[in-house]
């Protein structure tokens, strides 16, 4: 199963390494990780997505809670939360496939950020599955570079 954890942590040095270390040490898998400061400068928010069996997901939550610098752990339900990811992707194009590439971007709600003689840089932000799908669709054009932010999630209420 997929576990989405929204974790509020003390915004101080070494905390991210503690969290990453916990996952590495106990063999927990990280699908995606996103970190940023919240509205309070001393609190950061980490969104961690992990795929594992139910007992392991449970253990992840408990071990996150055990960390002294973790202020709060919320386990988010995929349906009852909004999850977004952003991707910057550079693909090559030719005169023949340029228009279909632009059309694909427009259908998927992606923005063209930069165009050079041989490549186009595209930005998309959407749910993680749409971003993954878009990435797949672009494979035939020739992907030159990809940057993804990792998922950020928030409960609907």
Partner 1 sequence: MINGAEAMVQCLKAEGVTRIFGIPGVAIAPFYEALYNEPSITHVLVRQEQAAGHAASGYARITRRPAVCVTSSGPGATNLITALATAYADSIPLIAITGQVDSHLLGHDVFQEADMRGATESFVKYSYLVKNVNDIPRIFKEAFHIASTGRTGPVLIDIPCDVQRNELKGEFVYPEEAKIRGYKPSVIGNGQQMSKVIAAINKAKRPLICAGGGVILSNGEDVVRSFCEKNGIPLVSTMMGIGTIAKAHPLYFGMLGNNGKPYANKAVANADLLMVVGARIADRAVPKPEKLERRLTVIHIDIDSAEIGKMLGPTIPLVGDIRHIFTELMNADIHIDTSEWIRELEEIKVSTVDHRVFSDRLVNPMTLVQTLSEKMDDDGIYVADVGQNQLWSADNYVMKNGRFLTTGGMGTMGYSIPAALGAKMAEPDKQVVAVCGDGAFQMSMFELATIAVNKVPLKILVLRNEFLGLVREHQEKVYDCHYSGVQLYAYPHYDKLTQAYDMDYFHSDSNETLGEELDRFLACTNAAIMVCDVDSANNTK
Q: What are the structure tokens assigned to 55, written together?
A: 């007992």
Q: What is the rounded distance in angstroms from the CA atom of residue 45 to the CA atom of residue 11? A: 9
What's the min distance (Å) between Cβ of 31 and partner 1? 21
Nearest residue to 150 (alpha-carbon basis) of 10, 9, 33, 24: 33
What's the min distance (Å) between Cβ of 71 and partner 1? 5
Q: Which is nearer to partner 1, 65 or 147 (CB)?
A: 65
Tell me if 70 sits within 8 A of 25, measured CB to CB.
Answer: no
Residues that bind partner 1 (CB under 8 A): 9-10, 14, 17-18, 21, 25, 55, 58-59, 62-63, 65-72
What's the min distance (Å) between Cβ of 63 and partner 1? 5
Q: Which is nearer to partner 1, 68 or 117 (CB)?
A: 68
Q: Which is nearer to partner 1, 59 or 127 (CB)?
A: 59
What b/e sequence results for 60-76 when a residue is b if at least 16 CB atoms lie within 10 Å of its CB, and e otherwise?
bbebbeebeebeebebb
Q: Which is nearer to partner 1, 67 or 125 (CB)?
A: 67
Q: What is the rounded distance in angstroms from the CA atom of residue 90 to the CA atom of residue 85? A: 17
What's the min distance (Å) between Cβ of 132 and partner 1? 32
């Amino acid at each position: 199963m997929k576990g989405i954890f929204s974790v509020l942590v003390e915004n101080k040095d070494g905390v991210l390494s503690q969290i990453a270390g916990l996952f590495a040490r106990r063999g927990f898998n990280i699908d995606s990780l996103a970190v940023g400061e919240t509205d309070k400068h001393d609190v950061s928010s980490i969104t961690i997505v992990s795929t594992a069996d139910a007992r392991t997901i449970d253990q992840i939550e408990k071990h996150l809670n055990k960390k002294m610098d973790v202020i709060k752990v919320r386990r988010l339900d995929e349906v009852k939360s909004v999850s977004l990811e952003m991707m910057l992707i550079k693909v090559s194009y030719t005169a023949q496939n340029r228009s279909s590439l632009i059309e694909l971007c427009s259908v998927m709600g992606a923005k063209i950020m930069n165009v050079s003689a041989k490549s186009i840089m595209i930005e998309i932000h959407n749910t993680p599955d749409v971003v993954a799908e878009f990435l797949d669709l672009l494979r035939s054009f020739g992907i030159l570079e990809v940057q993804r932010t990792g998922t950020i999630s928030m409960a609907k209420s």
